[in-house]
């Protein structure tokens, strides 16, 4: 009887060890994408800031082609369940302004919306202005160099989103 009980216990231990639970290891899901298009305007010609009836209204020109805009993604936002205390990387994506003043960039995204920091460069450009010449008594157009600064902004993205926005300096 002792041999039978011992044999039963050994078989039960083997059965328990053979069927113990193991945690299923799965690879993290790859993020999807979001398309962001920003139209960038800047007022470099103040002489055309009127409407057809003469009312004052700012008319924005396109930001110069070739201007580089940076999009900064906190990779923690790409995790469905981020690990507390872990130091996640900041991912930077560059977008270049085209001739029509648009910058288009494809960014990683998940189903949950998150904010991407958009960093705009300072621009040193010539500005056309109209001023009254007190010596001649006439209006004249002058050109002055000016530095334009635009603060960082946030754009919310999610998987499959197509974002189109206008931003002006």
- Indicate whether 99 belongs to any domain: yes
Which structural domain range is residue 82 located in?
A: 32-120+150-168
3-state secondary structure the chain: CHHHHHHHHHHHHHHHHHCCCCCCCCCCCCCEEEEEEEEEEECCEHHHCECCCCCECCCCEECCCCCEEEEEEEHHHHCCCCCCCCCCCEEEEEEECCCCCEEEEEEEECCCCEEEEEECCCEEEEEEEEEEECCCCEEEEEEEEEEECCCCEEEEECCCCEEEEEEEC
- Indicate whether 113 belongs to any domain: yes
- Indicate whether 20 belongs to any domain: no
The pTM of this model reads 0.73
Per the structure, how many domains does the chain have?
A: 1
- Indicate whether 84 belongs to any domain: yes
- Indicate whether 26 belongs to any domain: no
Q: Per-residue confidence of the chain (169 residues) as pLDDT tens digits?
A: 555 454 555 555 555 555 545 444 444 557 799 999 999 999 999 988 887 787 888 999 999 999 999 999 999 999 888 888 899 999 999 999 999 999 999 999 999 999 999 999 999 999 999 888 888 888 899 899 999 999 999 999 999 999 999 999 9
The enclosing domain of 72 has a CATH number of 2.60.40
- Indicate whether 164 belongs to any domain: yes
- Indicate whether 24 belongs to any domain: no
């Amino acid at each position: 009887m002792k041999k039978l009980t011992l044999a039963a216990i050994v078989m039960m231990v083997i059965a328990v060890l053979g069927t113990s639970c193991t945690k299923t290891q799965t690879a993290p899901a790859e993020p999807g994408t979001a398309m962001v298009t920003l139209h960038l305007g800047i007022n470099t010609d103040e002489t055309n800031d009127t409407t057809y009836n003469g009312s004052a209204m700012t008319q924005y020109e396109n930001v110069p082609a070739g201007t580089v805009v940076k999009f900064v993604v906190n990779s923690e936002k790409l995790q469905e369940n981020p690990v507390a205390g872990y130091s996640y990387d900041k991912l930077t994506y560059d977008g270049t302004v085209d001739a029509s003043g648009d910058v288009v960039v494809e960014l990683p995204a998940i189903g949950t919306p998150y904010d991407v920091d958009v960093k705009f460069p300072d621009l040193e450009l010539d500005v056309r202005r109209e001023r009254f010449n007190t010596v001649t008594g006439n209006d004249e157009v002058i050109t002055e160099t000016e530095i334009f600064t635009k603060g960082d902004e946030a754009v919310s993205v999610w998987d499959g989103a197509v974002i189109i926005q206008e931003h002006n300096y």
